[in-house]
Structure 1
Amino acid sequence: MLTAKNSLGVVFFPAFDWAIEATHPEREERLLYTQDQLKEEGLFDIEGVVEYKPEVATRQDVERVHFCLPSVETVATKSHMISAGGAIKAARLVMDGEMDRAFALVRPPGHHAMKVVEGNRGFCNINIEAVMLEWIREHYGPKRVAIIDTDCHHGDGTQDIYWHDPNTLFISLHQDGRTLYPGTGFPDELGGPNALGRTLNIPLPPRTGDEGFLYVVENCILPILKDFKPDLVINSAGQDNHFTDPITNMNFSAQGYARLNELLKPDLAVLEGGYAIQGALPYVNLGICLAMAGVDYSHVREPDFDPARIRQDVRTMDFIKKVCEMTTRHYFRPPAAPTDGDVVNGWHSRMKDVYYDTDGISESQVESVSLCSDCAGVRKIEVWSSISPLSLCIEIPQTACDRCLGLGKRVLEEGHTKGNYRIIQCINRKEKEYTQFGF
């Protein structure tokens, strides 16, 4: 019998009752083939690898992270709450020491869900990694965390949530946004004024293969992680970089995904995208599980794997090396100030327009953050959309200094007395108060 070098908990939830459409790429079959493959290959016969059922996230778990307009219930279905609860279950296994590592094989996914949520965009309603991470911080105290997003699409939602957080390092490696949804994730997107260099984007050319992805990990991401010294590493484990994926243009393999996780050594992994439900996901998920468990994965092969056919061009590697050099420079020597937005009276503000491609919602925001050298600062968002009137959203961070705690409370009070807002929401992480007022 094989024994896992690292005990691994696998949390499984295929969400039988949720799909955008019956034939949509994001549907329950995404995980049913994987479930069969893992059992047929005897993954759970390995000593130290155990399957678990998910928990159900609570309303407050979501409210720690998101401003849901008009409410959590209008944005998230029961399947979304169970998917987020599956990620929380994975975190509980690791944080309580029951397992060394855990992989939440759950859907619906979440990395396109931003700080403000009014509907579905990029197949995502709530950001399950962020719900998981803030659950960890709520129950185990402030943590220094690195999130490595390996989905083929830029993790714009996770980036938006942690844009102002100096204690969260977010790195996204993805297909170049000039060629793929959501059209963002460029090297100059580096975080807000209190967290410059804590957001890093590594756009990769179409048809990047194993060689390119693993070069990025070994020569760019690992040196940065060594310097950042996170308490936890999370892999936002999208699998649509695979060479058979129907909606992307990359050439990554199951062996490459396994090696990537062997190098990253994530404490937690959470499934994101990946839509080649028969030819890729069962093999990629198996490879990731074996790599996280420290078990040999050299036998894992897709049925149509042909290394020669998917080998990347030499020019692709030249481009990747330049992007890695730029990313390393941005982390170790970030600019003194953001290139976007304006500073007025101690607040840095920027305009944002967000489109919910699945639900057809157009949203506009004025996002401001208080400049602070002691904490992440108070975040204030004035938001309106094609379905919602003007609303005010305020976040006081968990590690808020006394000045920012007082400032956040004043902004809330002024919103009540002077503002013309239909809804006011406040996330007060410092005092664990989550409030909403509707007018």
Structure 2
Amino acid sequence: MLKAKNKLGIIFFPAFDWAISPTHPERQERLLYTQDQLREEGLFDIEGIGEYKPDVASIEDVERVHFCFPDVNGVTTRSHRISAGGAIKAADLVMTGERDCAFAMVRPPGHHAMKVVHGSRGFCNINIEAVMIEHIREKYGHRKIAIVDTDCHHGDGTQDVYWHDPDTLFISMHQDGRTLYPGSGFPQELGGPNAMGKNINIPLPPNTSDEGFMMVMEQVVKPILDDFQPDLIINSAGQDNHFTDPITDMNFSAKGYAALNEMLKPDIAVLEGGYSIQGALPYINLGICLAMAGVDYSNIREPNYNPEQIRQDSRTTEYIAELCRQLPRLYFEPPAFNAKGDSRQGVISGDMFIRHKQIYYDTDGINEVQQESLTLCDQCRGLYKVETRADSGPMCLGVEIPIDACPDCRTRGYELVEDGLVKGTYRYVQLINRLDKDYVRYGF
């Protein structure tokens, strides 16, 4: 009998009761074919690999991360909370030592869900990785965490959630935003003024194959991780870089995904995108599981795999090689934040960082405008405030007191909430107080 080098926990949640439409690529078959494949290949006969059921994320778990308007139940279903609960289950298995690593194969996905949530964008309502990470920090103490997003689409939601967090390193490897939704994820998007260089984007050209991905892992991702020295590595495991995916333009293989995870050695992987339901996902997921468990994956091969047909050309290789030369310095030698720079990245006014955003929720057809501000405090990471309105609806206010808040920022946070309530400027007001674990919502 085979024995896993690393004890691996696998959590399944296909979400039978949630789909955008019966024929939409984001549907339950994304996981059903994988379940069949893993059982047919005898994965669960390997000693050290076990299957677990998901937990259900609580309202507080979501409100620890997101400002949801009008409220959590108004922008999610139970399936969204179970998907996040599957990620939480993976975290608990690892943090308690029951498993060395874990893979949450759950849906709906989450990496396009931003700090503020009015609905669904990019098939995502809540950011399941962020909900999981902040559960870890709340239950097991603060941790330095690295998120490596290998989805073909830029993880703009995760980037937004952790824009100001110096203790969370976010690295996104994705198809260049000039050629694919959501049109973001460029190298100059480096994080807020207190977290410059902790947000690293690696926009790859269409038709990048295994060679290009492994080059980036070896020359960009691994050196940065080695320097950051995270307590945990999370793989935001999107699988739509595969050469058969119907909505992207990349040439990654199932064995390539396994090799990437062998190099990355994530503590936790959480499924994101991937829409080649029969021809790719069962093989990619099997390869990732074997790699995480430390079991030989050399025989992984999906249908129609021909390495010569998907090999990247020399121009693509040269372009990626230049990225590998340029990108590491953005982490190791980040530029000073430019208060007169790109206004989309934010500006500094006095002791405040201010950023204006226009966000489109493509799945639900919602337009949002918001202004966020962060107090640039010498004693803590600063008080966060966001004013937001969706489709010319009522103004809403979110205030977050950080986990390391100084007395002044804590006091000012409660004053902002009280002022908002007294003046009646906002229809909904939400407070996230990470310092005192106080999560309060008001609606009128």
Deviations 1:140-165 (A, max 9, x none): 11110000000000000000000000
Q: Is the 8 A contact 1:30 1:281 kept in 2?
A: yes
Question: What letter is aligned with 1:430?
Answer: L
Q: For residues 299 and 31 of structure 1, what CA distance do their matches in structure 2 show?
A: 21
Which residue matches 2:376? 371
Deviations 1:52-89 (A, max 9, x none): 01011111000000111000001110110110000000
1:424 matched to 2:434? The reply is: no
Q: For residues 11 and 127 of structure 1, what CA distance do their matches in structure 2 show?
A: 17
* Further displaced range: 181-190 or 316-325: 316-325
Shift of 1:387: 6.1
Correspondence list, 1:194-343, <5 A: 194-338=194-338, 339=341, 340=343, 341-343=346-348
Deviations 1:264-322 (A, max 9, x none): 00000000000000000000000000000000000100011000000001111211122
Of residues 392, 401, 420 in structure 2, which corresponds to 1:396? 401
Q: For residues 186 and 432 of structure 1, what CA distance do their matches in structure 2 show?
A: 34
Q: For residues 21 and 376 of structure 1, what CA distance do their matches in structure 2 show?
A: 42
* Further displaced range: 120-129 or 316-325: 316-325
Q: For residues 102 and 354 of structure 2, what CA distance do their matches in structure 1 show?
A: 38
Deviations 1:328-376 (A, max 9, x none): 1110111111433322231110110000001110000111111134432
Question: What letter is aligned with 1:401?
Answer: C
Question: What letter is aligned with 1:299?
Answer: N
Q: For residues 193 and 410 of structure 1, what CA distance do their matches in structure 2 show?
A: 24
Give the 3-state SS of the residue equivalent to 2:327 in structure 1.
helix
Indicate how the Cα distance of structure 1 residues 38 and 387 shifts in structure 2: closer, same or farther if over 3 A, else same.
farther
Structure 2 unmatched runs, 5+: none
Shift of 1:417: 3.2
Question: What letter is aligned with 1:398?
Answer: I
> How does the TM-score come out when normalised to structure 1?
0.98
Question: What letter is aligned with 1:130?
Answer: A
Q: For residues 54 and 105 of structure 2, what CA distance do their matches in structure 1 show?
A: 10
Shift of 1:414: 2.6
Give the 3-state SS of the residue equivalent to 1:190 in structure 2.
coil
Give the 3-state SS of the residue equivalent to 1:320 in structure 2.
helix
Shift of 1:419: 5.7
Question: What letter is aligned with 2:429?
Answer: I
Shift of 1:418: 4.1
Deviations 1:212-268 (A, max 9, x none): 001111111100001101000000000000000000000000010000000000000
Shift of 1:396: 1.2
Shift of 1:415: 2.2
Shift of 1:379: 1.1
Which residue matches 2:151? 151
Q: For residues 167 and 407 of structure 1, what CA distance do their matches in structure 2 show?
A: 23
Give the 3-state SS of the residue equivalent to 1:223 in structure 2.
helix
Question: What letter is aligned with 2:399?
Answer: I
Q: For residues 323 and 417 of structure 2, what CA distance do their matches in structure 1 show?
A: 42
Give the 3-state SS of the residue equivalent to 1:382 in structure 2.
strand
Cα RMSD (Å): 1.1
> How does the TM-score come out when normalised to structure 2?
0.97
Q: For residues 362 and 96 of structure 1, what CA distance do their matches in structure 2 show?
A: 42
Give the 3-state SS of the residue equivalent to 1:226 in structure 2.
helix
Which residue matches 2:410? 405
Which residue matches 2:104? 104
Question: What letter is aligned with 2:398?
Answer: C
Deviations 1:111-151 (A, max 9, x none): 00000001110000111000000000000111100000000
Which residue matches 2:358? 353
Q: For residues 264 and 378 of structure 2, what CA distance do their matches in structure 1 show?
A: 31
Indicate how the Cα distance of structure 1 residues 348 and 8 shifts in structure 2: closer, same or farther if over 3 A, else same.
same
Structure 1 unmatched runs, 5+: none
Which residue matches 1:122? 122
Shift of 1:201: 0.3
Q: For residues 257 and 279 of structure 1, what CA distance do their matches in structure 2 show?
A: 14
Correspondence list, 1:163-202, <5 A: 163-202=163-202
Q: For residues 378 and 236 of structure 2, what CA distance do their matches in structure 1 show?
A: 29
1:2 matched to 2:21? The reply is: no
Q: For residues 23 and 376 of structure 1, what CA distance do their matches in structure 2 show?
A: 45
Indicate how the Cα distance of structure 1 residues 322 and 401 shifts in structure 2: closer, same or farther if over 3 A, else same.
farther
